[in-house]
Amino acid sequence: MVNYSASNFLQIAFITLSILGIALLWAQTRFTAMRYLLGATALLMTFNFIEETKVVNLGYLITPSFSLLMGPLFFAVVAQLISASYQQQSKHWVHLVPAAISLLFNHWPQWVLAAGTLSQIVYFSLSIKALIRYQHILPQNRSDANKLRADWVKRILWVLVGVALVDAVRHNLQPYLPTTLLLRWYLVMQLSYFLIVALLVIRAVREPQLFAGLTDGEQALGLSVIEGCDKGKCKADETTQADTLFKELNKQVHSQQLYRLPRLSLRDLAQHTGLGEKDISWAINQGYGSNFNDYVNAQRLADVVSQLDSAKESDSDKKVRLLDIALEAGFNSKSSFNSLFKRHLGMTPSQYLAEKPQ
């Protein structure tokens, strides 16, 4: 009779979660990489279950090779999250070759697991680097940059780096620690991975807009702005041209109230004004002195303050209507509006209404 452990029941839950996630994300091409990650996770937990319970005698270890698989797959998820143009091309499959080759060496599982841990740390670090670059470029293209920053993914990656290091310690201490302690440690590691994957699935299903990503053109434009005039390379005559272009752009933005479009992007603004994306980004960065995201949200904030100051109703009525006014001005959520309001004015909207002279 097979004695099932708590880890085995968690493995069953993990397999169920992975299959459910694949089913929920099946029709959306934006989550191709995540479906591969979930599929690999389901296979890993299946082999874990089989190897530990011995319900089927495989005669050979499979699971160590998965340690070389998870890093590249998670990197692919991050790449698809931040790039709207990312496709699973044949050249990307080369990253999975080490996992396939390692199947020949699973007679020495400790060495394969050590290589897998190193691989994961490298790929998680590359993912963090890509996210930091994305977060620098994002405000140059999107007015809802704060919502799309993917800080939560970066935090997950740091946690994964920590978990990989702790798990490496567990593997190396196995010959020296009591079995009970090792089993509990193993359960905690699996539970950590389970919670991380569950969070990924929940965010992907509930907030798919977070995975919109930037096109190659937007990323190239963002880099050119960051590496260009932002580093003081603009000449005086170019600055004058930028000021003139910005004044014309600002006039159109206000006459058409374009800042009120909730998810306004640089591309949207170019379509409405007839100006080039590169010219708009350059004009805002030089003529306004900040990025696209800051410019658009500053116009929204000015609109809200203007409405609050000019409205004739009582302050209590204004508080009731405050969220409606913010959403009308183009803000996506109450939290982002409150955060921006406090950062620019040094107080919350409620405090502003309370302190404003009657």
230 pLDDT higher than 50: no
**Residue of 332, 336, 333, 337 whose CA lies nearest to 349:** 337
Residue written as tokens 């009779």?
1
Reported as a single tens digit per residue, the pLDDT across 6-59 is 899 999 999 999 999 999 999 888 888 999 999 999 999 999 999 888 888 877
Measured between alpha carbons, how far is 290 from 282 in angstroms, rounded to an integer? 10
| Mean pLDDT of the region 221-225 | 65
> With contact defined as beta carbons under 8 Å apart, do 147 and 336 qualify?
yes
Measured between alpha carbons, how far is 48 from 8 in angstroms, rounded to an integer? 8
Measured between alpha carbons, how far is 15 from 21 in angstroms, rounded to an integer? 10
Reported as a single tens digit per residue, the pLDDT across 189-205 is 999 999 999 999 998 88
pLDDT top residue among 238 and 48: 48
> With contact defined as beta carbons under 8 Å apart, do 44 and 113 qualify?
no
Measured between alpha carbons, how far is 53 from 51 in angstroms, rounded to an integer? 6
Reported as a single tens digit per residue, the pLDDT across 297-354 is 999 999 988 888 876 666 566 666 788 888 899 988 888 888 888 888 888 888 887 7
**What is the residue type of 247?**
K
